[in-house]
């Protein structure tokens, strides 16, 4: 009878332990989030936009460096204009001798092209950021804090 009682007590404790585990499993499954295919597509689209945005930011950084180099070259030409008759100007892989005025015109043309490129890249980045904000808003409204879509 003592063994039987000990067996019943052991069985009862295992049963209580099982119920506690089942309760824990219940609470975990209540917090599990089921992602629909459409939502996964939105998450993937957000990731693609984020990747493009990072590429654009890298391109912008490179364009700004080019613009700074052109500004420095323009300033150097202004300083040396009185002492030099011609300046070497690189076109592709070839250096061409040009007057200070011609060199300044070429630099102005390149600066304008880079300014246009920067403006186009900024517009593209702005468009992507707006699309990402829409996706982020939609996904956060569905998943709350269970999803992290920070891109900065």
pLDDT for residue 89: 80
Percent of the chain with pLDDT over 90: 43
Q: What is the pLDDT of residues 64-122, one digit of tens each?
A: 999 999 999 889 888 887 677 788 888 888 888 888 888 889 999 999 999 999 999 99
Residue owning tokens 């829409």: 134
For residue 130, what pLDDT band results from cuts at 50, 70 and 90? Answer: very high
Are the beta carbons of 149 and 46 closer than 8 angstroms? Answer: yes
Mean pLDDT for the chain overall: 81
Exposed / middle / buried, residue 103 (Cβ in 10 Å: 0-12, 13-18, 19+): buried
| Threshold 0.75, pTM exceeds | no
Are the beta carbons of 53 and 129 closer than 8 angstroms? Answer: yes
pLDDT for residue 30: 45
Query: Which three-class secondary structure state does DSSP give residue 13?
Result: helix
């Amino acid at each position: 009878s003592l063994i039987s009682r000990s067996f019943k007590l052991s069985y009862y404790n295992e049963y209580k332990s099982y119920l506690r585990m089942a309760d824990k499993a219940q609470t975990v499954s209540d917090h599990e989030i089921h992602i629909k295919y459409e939502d996964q597509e939105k998450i993937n689209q957000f990731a693609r936009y984020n990747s493009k945005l990072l590429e654009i930011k890298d391109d912008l950084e490179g364009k700004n460096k080019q613009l700074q180099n052109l500004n420095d070259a323009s300033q150097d030409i202004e300083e040396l204009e009185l002492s030099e008759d011609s300046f070497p100007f690189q076109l592709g892989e070839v250096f061409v001798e040009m007057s200070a005025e011609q060199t300044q015109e070429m630099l102005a043309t390149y600066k304008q092209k880079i300014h246009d490129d920067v403006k186009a890249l900024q517009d593209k980045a702005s468009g992507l950021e707006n699309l990402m904000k829409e996706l982020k808003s939609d996904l956060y409204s569905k998943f709350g804090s269970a999803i992290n879509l920070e891109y900065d």
